[in-house]
Amino acid sequence: MLHHPLTPSPTAVRSTRWTAPRITSVPRRFALGCAAWLLLTAGGGALAQGAAQWPVKPVRLIVGWAPGGGVDVTARTMAIRLIEIWNQQVLVDNRPGAAGNLAGEMVARASTDGYTLLLGSAGELAINAGLFEKMPYDPVQDFSHISTAVRVPNAVVIHPSVPANTIKELIAASQKAPNGYAFASPGNGSIGHLTGEMLRMITGAKLLHVPYKGAAPATADLVGGQVQLSFSSMPAVLPFVKAGKLRMIAVTSGQRSAAAPELPTIAESGVPSFDAIGWYGFVGPSGMARELVVRINGDLAKALAIPDLRERLVSQGLDPWPSSPAQMRAFVASEIIKWTRVIRQAGARVD
């Protein structure tokens, strides 16, 4: 057994002749250092213990979009498994408004105890930073990034009247059309809008953006032939694709989607490095204890590895996509740079 120099050995303790050494002075810097070390050690132990015991009450999961949307469905799907893992209720709280910024600000200002989390989308965690002149929070600095959850690869969906079966054919046909092709999106600044603008800028495709107030009316007009194409989430268009009313020719992500592995990516179709995806991820307020962030990150990875949860997400057109906290933070920063560049070049604005 090792003993501190100022701690008597067991032999010395048993000896009646032992006398504690006299300490005449201790350097102030040394004393302060020891005190700080003791505080940090005790605090670290308390944090680790607290993370191990968390949660001791229901966890509130904020969603910045209305019930029934992609983020909401993902939150409720994952909540079922998280309830089992945490043995606590997970309360999905929808707070739509300001393109997700209302929910983002709420979580950025919440307590750092881990009981208020946000399942955010690419909008409030990346795109809005370039879209809004003033943001109520900083998507990088004001959150504790915990883990990405799913990727949401959009599909390039065209009306049957468009004479194209590949991205190259679509680009060529748009350039030959007198007025080009109109593409629908759920609104200005949406991932569907910016993906179309990115393709136009990179390839010279002749595309005109037509914004709608949501995915449903945009899809309805695409089915009706009022617009020629869209960059849509798969769940929104799959029923029409199966009915032969629409056709999917590619996915917008850098990798093929598990939901439609037969579809090539735009990059595979002749536009190198093209990668435009929607995604959802978990964050908490900045300042959460590292031990707690690591604990929640591990639990999210555990949930996303459950076979029936993965199958259910894939059936909804979502690719399970866990990450480390550091990976998510770096990814968010890179997404802000990418989409801000597209927004500025396209002149996108908020309605």
**Residue ranges per domain, the chain?**
53-152+277-346, 153-251
**Fold observed for domain 53-152+277-346:** D-Maltodextrin-Binding Protein; domain 2 (3.40.190)
Q: Which two three-digit tokens encode residue 318? A: 């979502």
Residues in Cβ contact with 66 at an 8 Å cutoff, skipping those fewer than 6 apart: 72, 94, 96
Residue 30 has pLDDT above 60, yes or no: no
What distance in Å separates the CA atoms of residue 100 and residue 125, rounded to the nearest whole number? 9
**Fold observed for domain 153-251:** D-Maltodextrin-Binding Protein; domain 2 (3.40.190)
pLDDT at 236: 81
30 compared with 81, residue with greater pLDDT: 81
Residue 20 has pLDDT above 70, yes or no: no
Q: Which of 65-74, 118-127, 292-301, 318-327 has the lowest mean pLDDT?
A: 65-74
pLDDT at 12: 38
Residue 42 has pLDDT above 80, yes or no: no
pLDDT at 39: 53
pLDDT at 315: 86
Residue 174 has pLDDT above 60, yes or no: yes
> Do the two domains 53-152+277-346 and 153-251 of this chain adopt the same fold?
yes
Name the band, by pLDDT with cuts 50, 70 and 90, for residue 161.
Answer: very high
Name the band, by pLDDT with cuts 50, 70 and 90, for residue 46.
Answer: low
Asked if 186 and 290 touch (Cβ cutoff 8 Å), the reply is no
pLDDT at 52: 82
268 closest CA partner among 259, 284, 281, 257: 257
pLDDT at 335: 97
pLDDT at 47: 57
pLDDT at 9: 40
325 compared with 345, residue with greater pLDDT: 325
CA neighbours within 13 Å on the CB side: how many for 306? 17
pLDDT at 67: 87
What distance in Å separates the CA atoms of residue 258 and residue 237, rounded to the nearest whole number? 16
Query: What do you get for the CA distance between the two ends of the chain, in Å?
Result: 71
What average pLDDT does the segment 45-56 reach? 75
19 compared with 104, residue with greater pLDDT: 104
Asked if 342 and 349 touch (Cβ cutoff 8 Å), the reply is no
pLDDT at 153: 84
255 closest CA partner among 198, 337, 157, 321: 321
Query: For 234-245, what is each residue's pLDDT tens digit?
Result: 878 888 999 999
Q: Which two three-digit tokens encode residue 103? A: 């929910």
Query: For 205-238, what is each residue's pLDDT tens digit?
Result: 999 999 998 888 999 999 999 999 999 988 788 8
- List residues bridging with 282 in a β-sheet: 119, 147
pLDDT at 66: 86
pLDDT at 84: 97
Phi, psi (degrees; rounded to nearest 5) at 155: -110, 145
Residue 94 has pLDDT above 60, yes or no: yes
Percent of the chain predicted with pLDDT > 90: 72
What distance in Å separates the CA atoms of residue 89 and residue 79, rounded to the nearest whole number? 8
Which DSSP symbol is given to 226?
S
What distance in Å separates the CA atoms of residue 325 and residue 252, rounded to the nearest whole number? 25
pLDDT at 4: 39
Residue 32 has pLDDT above 80, yes or no: no
Q: Helices (H), strands (E): how many in the chain?
A: 13, 10
Residue 6 has pLDDT above 90, yes or no: no
pLDDT mean across residues, the chain:
87
Asked if 115 and 84 touch (Cβ cutoff 8 Å), the reply is no
What distance in Å separates the CA atoms of residue 96 and residue 50, rounded to the nearest whole number? 32
Residue 80 has pLDDT above 60, yes or no: yes
pLDDT at 21: 39
Percent of the chain predicted with pLDDT > 70: 86
pLDDT at 182: 98
pLDDT at 11: 38
